[in-house]
Chains A and B, each alone.
Chain A
Amino acid sequence: MTTQFEEIHGTAPIQADEGIARAAITVRRPLEEVQRAWREFELPGTAEITRGPGDLGVEIRAELTEPVPAAASDLLARYNGSSDSARLKSALRALKARLETGEMPTVDGQPSGRD
């Protein structure tokens, strides 16, 4: 169903350079914890993981150079978006939510008048 916003502005894909997907995110957790979580993520690419400025936490700058199998991890199952970079960003957000909050935000299973 097309929303009113989509009617006005169109769905706006986040375009990646051809063949490479890039995304970055900040995670407010200790460096070692983020490094360990990234290793468990098992993505075919590289990541620069460094302490961010001040007390803002850890910065992850990730780059994928190969297509990612959908079954690679449950975090990747959260991907959402019309390009590889958008999907990578989505997956990083899922990683961040898991590390910072212990859970994934969701509304799947909530009631509505469509039920």
Chain B
Amino acid sequence: MSRAADQIRPWHQANWDARAAANFIGGGSGSGLLIAGAIAHAAGAPYRALALTALALIAVGLTCVALEIGRPWRALNVFFHPQTSWMTRESLVAVPLFAAGAAALWQDGGAYAWAAAALAAAFLWCQAQILRAAKGIPAWRAPRVVPLILSTGLVEGAGLLAMACALPSSAHALARPVSAALVALLVLRAVVWQMYRARLEAPKRALVALDRAAPLFHRVGNWVAAPLAAIAVLLAPDAVAAPLGAVAGAIAVAAGWQVKFVLVTRAGFNQGFALPHLPVRGSGTPGPSAKPGW
């Protein structure tokens, strides 16, 4: 491919790298775990370790983003545009999220746990909308990226909770219901992925990047993890249910992280350039449209 052609067909965005992906990974998993943790706590599971892990994941993600911005000492400017910017809204939600999370840790759950879960849901929504609003990246701006990011976050939360259920001195009694929830969320995530991918209009190379990730994410991350979790719910003896659910949870979490990493760092091809009509030259006639790379 000539240099001229390279200049025209879509190329991979170079502004958001693995650090941005880490924000979607940590933020999604942390939010999901805060939601799952609040529900599990209401059912009798210990709360503090779950909430601490969740807040740490979100904090790591936000720290990674802070390391990516060009002028970190001006980071507080990020709060200036709540009218339309989902990045501002994410930041604004993060403040009370950590406050509610800290209060919930202090009180070991209670009403603050539900407040933290609600704010985590808002945080996850903002993250999904951040990608949706990135109009220059076709794989991100697709409307179905929103349910994809939401479902991956919820699956990761349930997956981490399933892993926690297998730990010593944890709520083993919850292993089966958590695995059941994981099955339902994995099916949801699989359906959402198929809808996202089927309707996605993006440059060829973005589709190739996503299709390369699909076997691991979709076939293993969804369709191996879901049956494993289902076996943990229905067939496994008590002693095996929690570890089996944990394995399913680990696979589900890893797959969610993988797809978000690929989405940001491998499928982030820009729009490229396109001409609906090629210009007249001399006494000729206009030519057909051109949209290289699509």
Are A and B interaction partners? Answer: no
* Chain A residues within CB distance 8 Å of chain B: none
Interface residues of chain B, those whose CB is within 8 Å of chain A, are: none
